[in-house]
Structure 1
């Protein structure tokens, strides 16, 4: 036999021998390994880690907490286009193969042998399920063998739809999203049932490399991957040429902050999380608990937008402060775009305040770069707000020049320069009947500042505290028609608890004897001080605890008359609710109920209701007289724009501005809702001379009430028994004063009998406390 033929026969026999040995090894592995494969109980009894979910009272998701953000969906509820996109991207023959796609393996092997480019894989959907549930991601022959064996076992025990459902719910897709239902909400803010072909292709492209193809972090690479999936869908006949062209041209709106929800309620969600974690500390972030809060979506969004506009309007009035920071563009590498993206990651976007770096700058025009590759050229009105920082005389550390980091904002007129506000604000509203919180915004932006100013910020309330002093005075015999002097007062150090005090009225004007009603309407400081002097600071300190205030935070000195103590917006809303509900003290609450993942109620709030006499805090007549006086504040007084803007006269409330304009407040109510707005700096400093409660805080309250009172009929709080009208005012029936005497010998003599005489204090000294 020729040597060549012998060599060929020898080679063939050698190859056959190797194949036989390989088959033998595989059979041995099958015999020995298959019976020892892990149980499929984890698949047949699928119990994924479900996050803690926080919902509004009307069913909208406002927060999720847990390592995995997940939403389990049944296979029959997955849109066909989503299934097709996944198969086009990952496993086109899923419904034909038995777990391992032999044709796919051969095709990948051939492509890898002749391609010379990126290596192709042949991992099926079933193999990915096996890997995700039972194996590591290491690329070894042993692991691949076990993966194949597990795939056969899974295919033998589960139907194709069951396997596909597991894959759709378990696969990691970036942004802590597990499963396509969660990813649809996170990336596009919509349920899986509503996605388009283009969106489905974008999501289907994620499993291959969730980080590399993340449309939030890498929009360009995500687009390339999406186009590949769309072409595959077209080539496989899943979509028509027309659908392909439409999807290719569709502009996807990807949420830049993939942690956002349809409603801005981050502070509410965090409060609910803390409450739930205290009540159910075990598996709180994986057991699928659902927390139903008391807030309403539309009202919460109205409060958020109102506060945001109020803060931005204030910030714009104060002028542009200059560059937020600087980036050394000389240090950028060859790929400047990527380097800029990395540098800008240190400046997170805060909704419509997008960070950008200036590439070129002149007094009339700037060119900017935004993360993701977009460049913008701004000129004209877009630069007007920041024009002084483009001037040569601008401070070097703030001047807008090459490398300066700025903020851009987009409105109906296009992009323009903006800035991050330094000032903070808070808003909270509640139902006066039971204290259920209807809306709560703890600051300008939760991700920028997680400090909850509604519940944690202890601030001076200024004149917004006066109604509680007036209420105490009504219990001591005063009435809205009582006459008290509006004249300068000087208070000794012994009476203030610290230093001598010479307070002033906010406007610096004094009008002599006036009714209490007029004094509250005009927020006359001198009248409040004389009232407190007459009833005694110790009595007032004890009396205000009826509204939920802490006595120790309000020392019994005359400075309490002008709100020199400490309160939170949460406390103020609860306190004003007493006036709104007829004199009952209710406790605000924000969690309505907690359910398990099957909807069973585990815990439920049982709030006390106004009308329960065990909750009686003040006399109903007192509450009504205070409502009557504070109603005048919103019609004729320092909050007169409230009734004018809302076109109704059933509102009541009080403005507050503390000393040196460090805090601006407005707290007010209609019989169905009470709300409180505050504006100030975390490190207290002046807001500015014109920034009063009526100018700075009141607009936030008004904007919220436009939504909260939409469709609510104008309705006055009913007058209780025991009140009598006399001499152009109303009084407790037993305290109607006699007709005034024609002449008085001194300003403090001849007051109505219900009005105790007020002593003039001693000599003048210094002012040092709140002043509105």
Structure 2
């Protein structure tokens, strides 16, 4: 009894000492224990994601791949697999597992090794969010007390959800949602039992047991997880036997990108990094929804790519990229290894020529795929000499290809063909004219080749794309569409140039007095210069500034009338939108809204609207557009003051409104002239028909609600096509990044199509085809917008030769639009009719400034 009493006292003393030690340890680490209630509002590090306006994922930025999931969205069997593996008594204990602790202590005493951590899932959450992974006693003590506090602050489902979303599972995947996507390319609810077991086995050894890096160890780990599920009776013996026989199917899956639009995603990334800093932008879980429409973006990318290929191929073939063998053909594996040294992009693949027949060739790719290139895929490849010269059209494939050469191939939609990496650059951008939303943006042929965004960064000479703005100034000063401007050589030089600058038409042909509508539609140079002289250089520059062009980019000489200013495609399409929306200068924008990781709205766009406010109150003084709008309002003629009923009203008290920089009537008249650029005029059956410079658009797009303007700079260094319908404005630019290079010209290719493009490159032929293809696809299925004549516009029948009123109703006359009060008052006389010639120009050779 004495020994028993002593034993009881000893155990009681040890118990007191243990309790004292625990209390002492608690108060020792208490100052260093964090507030676990922060876990209720914890912000998991999730990547930045960028979407199109219709919800297609464009890009994802961030080191950690995480797809946060809710507890109810996790399959039951995945939860069972995790608990059976990591913490079978999770729902019974209060944060720590005494049995597990005793087991770990026993192993430590008997072996001297800390091989068993005895950490519950709650303890792992504590360690993952607040502690390090160092195996020290003080860290373990903190972990235990934090686990107890977490169990009081959160319920079991909340704790398990944090664990499932926080755990690192290899290959930059954090959480089970990301692991399902990274390893299997699936959503959680699509996983099979073996796949769930594989993911459940990763937290303890995300690298060593990784199914991509170490399939053998991963298989053993997965099967052990399945055995635990069987032991805990969460699966049957039959399911277990079937699951352990399943092969390893895991492989790396990148983020599921629905829409490849790298230039716009880079713009969105730059925006968020500048606003929040790099670390917050990449880990804050922000979702950016851009204004880009996925269909229009794909249409634009296809149109630009096809047009660049077409330009590049009609200028000739520059030859093979390298020679892989000349005598003895290497074995298949060696050929594939050599080809893999060159990556594919933009639908082009490196290939080795295996054999060449008279009018075909066989090639092999890096994947070992063998394709036959038919003659239709080879015959384009006449020799490139310079941008202005090409060799003769080949008659045999052996003139182009030799076995052993490494070349580029691509599928053009119908056949595999010989290709090459284009050297020319291009850009395309479209905006909604009514609020400035950027609907598509392609900053170059290949983001892989160059991240330079030519839509926003490249300032290039505008060429004849500037002429609609030149004529706008003339219209507002008193010219009409029927005003005759002398289409004759200019002999009076502009002294500001410093030299005797005498602009010429191209071709160097002059037709005498010509109506303004025809002069704009046919891009006649001397008429543009004379129209600018009528308005005055200062007034013209002031008008261009209203359209959003930077005064610093506008030279103070007459070359401005032919497009010497350098501007970006985004500036150009914004300016052209003014004609489509009734005269309002909208502000382009590309971010529709930004959401937090929880789906909360962080910010949303408040675009400028191209309409008259429903309220009559003046714009607020702090509105950035107020001063400009009020200044412009003072310049509006009395007959068009604010009492004139607006044709379109919109918005609310929170809306921002674009300033109206030209009258709706002037915008309408310019639009009508730009329709003539496409559709021409006159009567072909009577011999008076004439083409506008963009007549090809009429044949391709086949809509009467489109208007546009070609543009080519001197020596064809920059080519443009800008145009619109009431719903969409689009600008295309083509040129070389090296401004010293000319786009050149091409000779007729005997192997080419009947409608092939040849002779000098120009806006209509070089940039126009991309605009035509894009607008045809973009507007397909949408109704043709009827012409809406605004108030204050009247029509009168005029004589085509003189621009005066006519009583005739034949092919020598037409109805023309005028701002009320500017229509002609004088009728053409019989003598004038007899002595005048209808202006006719049937030439399809575009002038150098179109």
**Shift in CA distance, 85/693, structure 1 to aligned 2, threshold 3 Å:** farther
C-alpha distance in 1 between matches for 2:165 and 2:793: 66
Classify 1:581/1:245 alpha carbon distance in 2 versus 1 (closer, same or farther; 3 Å).
farther
Where does residue 432 of structure 2 map in the other structure?
Answer: 431
TM-superposition CA deviations, 1:58-117 (whole Å, max 9, x none): 3344344444343311121124576578789x76969799889979x99xx9xxx9xxxx
Report if the CA contact (8 A) 1:127-1:147 is conserved. no
Following superposition, the deviation at residue 610 of structure 1 comes to: 1.9
Q: Could you tell me which of 648, 661, 665 is aligned with 1:621? A: 665
Alignment of 1:580-591 (within 5 A): 580-591=580-591
Does residue 72 of the first structure (1) align with residue 68 of the second (2)? yes
> Which of residues 767, 770, 791 is equivalent to 1:697?
767
Per-residue CA distance 1:400-424 (angstroms, 9 max, x = gap): 857x5x6554676687654443332
Greater displacement, 610-619 / 426-435: 610-619
Greater mean alpha carbon deviation, residues 71-80 or residues 203-212: 203-212
Partner of 1:58: 54
Distance 1:66 1:131 in 2: 23
Flag the 1:413–1:701 CA change in 2: closer, same or farther, 3 A.
closer
Q: Which moved more, 1:196-205 or 1:307-316?
A: 196-205
2:301 matched to which residue of 1?
304
The 1:82–1:441 alpha-carbon spacing in structure 2 relative to 1, beyond 3 Å, is farther
Q: Using the alignment, how far apart are the partners of 1:141 and 1:424 within structure 2? A: 61
- Alignment CA distance shift 1:558-1:50 (3 Å): same
Shift, 1:459, TM fit:
0.7
CA contact (8 A) 1:307 1:700 kept: yes
Measure how far apart 1:714 and its partner are: 1.6
Within 5 A, what are the aligned runs for 1:665-704? 665-684=720-739, 685-689=741-745, 690=758, 691-704=761-774
5 Å-filtered alignment, 1:203-352, equals 258=254, 261-281=257-277, 283-322=280-319, 344=341, 349-350=344-345, 352=347
Residue matched to 1:468? 469
The SS at the match of 2:461 is coil
Q: Does residue 721 of structure 2 align to residue 725 of structure 1?
A: no
- Measured after TM superposition, the shift of residue 629 of structure 1 is 0.9
Secondary structure in structure 2 of the residue aligned to 1:630 = helix
Q: Tell me by how many angstroms 1:652 deviates.
A: 0.9
Partners of 1:102 and 1:388 in 2: CA distance? 78
Q: Are positions 1:715 and 2:785 aligned together?
A: yes
Q: 1:583·1:618 contact (CA, 8 Å) conserved in 2?
A: yes
Match of 2:697 among 608, 631, 642: 642
Find the residue that maps to 2:481 and give its secondary structure.
coil
CA drift of 1:570 comes to 1.0
Q: Deviations over 1:14-48 (max 9, x none)?
A: xxxxxxxxxxxx99998987884955556565321
Three-state SS of the structure 1 residue aligned to 2:543 is helix
For residues 451-490 of structure 1, the aligned pairs below 5 Å read 451-489=452-490
Q: Which residue of 2 aligns with 1:756?
A: none
- Secondary structure of 2:482's counterpart equals coil
How many angstroms apart in 2 are the aligned matches of 1:213 and 1:662? Answer: 58
**Partners in 2 of 1:136 and 1:392 — Cα distance?**
68
CA contact (8 A) 2:373 2:416 kept: no
* Aligned partner of residue 735 in structure 1, secondary structure: coil
Query: CA separation in 1, counterparts of 2:261 and 2:731?
Result: 17
Is the Cα–Cα contact under 8 Å of residues 487 and 512 in structure 1 kept in the other structure? Answer: yes
Conservation of the 8 A alpha-carbon contact between 2:378 and 2:397: no
**What is the CA distance between 1:171 and its match in structure 2?**
3.2
Residue 271 of structure 1, CA deviation = 2.4
2: CA distance between counterparts of 1:674 and 1:610? 14
State the shift of 1:458 in Å: 0.4
Q: 1:607 to 1:679 in 2, by over 3 A?
A: same
In the superposition, relative to structure 1, how do residues 553 and 438 fare at CA in structure 2: closer, same or farther (>3 Å)? same
Equivalent in the alignment of 1:757: none
Change (3 A) 1:357 1:84: farther
1:287 Cα shift? 3.5
Residues 310 and 227 from structure 1, CA distance in 2 versus in 1: closer, same or farther, beyond 3 angstroms? farther
Distance 1:338 1:42, change over 3 A: farther
Q: Does residue 1:557 correspond to 2:613, yes or no?
A: no
Contact 2:486/2:527 (<8 A) preserved: yes
- 1:422 aligned partner: 423
User: Is the 1:657–1:770 Cα contact (8 Å) retained in structure 2?
Assistant: yes
1:49–1:642 CA distance, 2 compared to 1 (3 A)? same
Q: Which range is displaced more, 671-680 or 177-186?
A: 177-186
- The 1:400–1:128 alpha-carbon spacing in structure 2 relative to 1, beyond 3 Å, is farther
In structure 1, how many angstroms separate the alpha carbons of the residues matched to 2:403 and 2:199?
A: 40
Unaligned segments of structure 1, at least 5 residues: 1-25, 114-118, 329-335, 752-768
Whether the 8 Å CA contact 1:385–1:418 is kept in 2: the answer is: no
Distance in 1, matches of 2:49 and 2:70, equals: 19
Q: Does the 8 Å contact 1:490/1:503 carry over to 2?
A: no
Asked if 1:168 is matched to 2:168, the reply is no
1:130 Cα offset (Å): 6.1
Q: Is the 8 A contact 2:554 2:565 kept in 1?
A: yes
Specify the SS of the correspondent of 1:669: strand
Q: Are 1:62 and 1:264, in contact at CA under 8 Å, matched by a contact in 2? A: yes
Q: Distance in 1 between matches of 2:823 and 2:225?
A: 85
2:545 match: 545
CA distance in 1, matches of 2:318, 2:177: 43
TM-score by length of 2: 0.67
1:166 to 1:478, Cα distance in 2 relative to 1, 3 A: same
For the Cα contact (< 8 Å) 1:327–1:343, is it kept in 2?
Answer: no
Deviations 1:489-511 (A, max 9, x none): 46746354566455332x55544
Residue matched to 1:739? 827
Structure 2: gaps spanning 5 or more residues: 1-17, 326-332, 384-395, 614-628, 630-658, 681-691, 746-757, 799-813, 839-846
The whole-number CA distance in structure 2 between the counterparts of 1:178 and 1:160 is 20
User: Residue 582 of structure 1: CA displacement?
Assistant: 1.0
Question: How many residue pairs get matched?
Answer: 691
After TM superposition, give the deviation of residue 750 of structure 1 in Å: 13
Partners of 2:147 and 2:336 lie apart in 1 by 46
